Amino acid sequence: MSWGLIPWSQLKHKKMTYLELLEQLQCCSKETLQQTVTLYSIKDDEFVPAYMTDYTDSEEQVLDSNHLVITY
């Protein structure tokens, strides 16, 4: 099974949850999982490497406290 970012966004019309991301990743080959994590900005038409994950703190104004985020 394969998937792509653009078809996902066109079909789902919603934001992806971490559970949905995990389900997609579990379908990937070992070779794919060894690739650099890369994010694609539809708005900017740009690919950006991810550097780390982190959790928001209590002072975050946009997201709830302790929300997992991917830093790029």
How high is the pLDDT of residue 40? 92
How high is the pLDDT of residue 54? 93
Across residues 42-69, what is the average pLDDT? 88
Position 60 pLDDT exceeds 80: no
Q: What is the pLDDT of residues 16-27, one digit of tens each?
A: 899 999 999 999
Instruction: Tell me the C-alpha distance between 64 and 37, whole Å.
Output: 24
- 37: which DSSP letter? P
How high is the pLDDT of residue 31? 97
- 55: which DSSP letter? E
- Global pTM reads 0.69
Q: Both tokens of residue 29?
A: 């080959």
